[in-house]
Amino acid sequence: MAHSDPALAHESPLRESELADAEALVREAGWNQTAADWRIFLDLGTVYAVRDSTGRVVATAATLPHGGRFAWISMVLVTSHVRRQGLARRLMNRCIHDLTANSLVPVLDATPAGRAVYSALGFKDTWGFHRLASAGQRPQPRIVDGGLIIRAITDADWPALCTYDAAAFGADRGAVLARLRGRVPPAELIAYRGDRIAGFLLGRDGRSATQLGPLVADDDLAAQQLLLRGLAAVEGAIYIDLADAKAELRQMLEEFGFAPQRPLTRMVYRRTESFDDPRRTFAVAGPELG
């Protein structure tokens, strides 16, 4: 497709000096990411940017590899005055090409509008989740024993936590989890049964809400107890991207005033199986991170 601005025909990696432009795209879209989230992609993945003739970044797409097996594609953003010129599709194709050339399977989480576009590019549905949002009441933790000990994550827990997560997520993403740690300390929780990890919760601050997730747990009880404590410790608006299969946890959240904001579908390039363990995957880190 021809572009009225010849500069739009080229993309190259985003520079840290252009973070303000990238953040402006997030604000325009009404998304939740902050500069700290962009730095995850700059440091651990790749962000491709299209610039106009003034040098301003007007479109982006990011890739984030996980453990040498697969990689997320996300942060596909195009400013309003250059939409419908094929920039998003071109950036998607660039990301797909680069990942497959490096033997990484592309994965993404699609909104309903994006799902049709990504299906045409070769992505297949695996499972769904909903973003649940609340700005209201906070629960008092209902302590249910179940053999659980739940406490704050410590440095001593971290290696085993990352191993536990990799088994559930399908790849080692310890570097990404480390970038989340410290952003919402009251919600950084781990559950044990005896000397074995039974689950954990992390979170991150955002432009419009605190995102709680990932939430990975052995069972509903561990997930509920982790989330109850996390919710009680966080003030302000909260997003949770909860797997559709976790109906019991969703019912609990709706009792506390959470409402569905939008559905999303996890899609994998040219395969119908996801890499993660659906039994232990309760809430994702966010559609941009996995």
Domains in the chain and their CATH numbers?
6-103 (3.40.630.30), 131-283 (3.40.630.30)
pLDDT confidence of residue 4: 67
Do the beta carbons of residue 21 and residue 56 sit within 8 Å? Answer: yes
Residue ranges, the chain, pLDDT below 50: 1
Contact 205, 34 (CB under 8 A): yes
- The pLDDT value given to residue 140: 72
Handedness of CA 239, 244, 249, 252 (dihedral sign): positive
Alpha helices in the chain (DSSP H): 19-29, 35-44, 87-101, 112-120, 158-169, 174-180, 220-233, 247-255
Task: Give the per-residue pLDDT at 71.
Answer: 98
Half-sphere exposure of 270 (CA within 13 A, CB side): 7
Distance separating alpha carbons of residues 173 and 180, to the nearest angstrom: 11
Joined together, the tokens standing for residue 216 give 């990975």
Q: 53: how many CB neighbours lie within 10 A of its CB?
A: 10
In this predicted structure, what is the pLDDT of residue 138?
Answer: 72
The Cα–Cα gap between 200 and 166 comes to 12
Helix (H) / strand (E) containing 60: strand 57-66
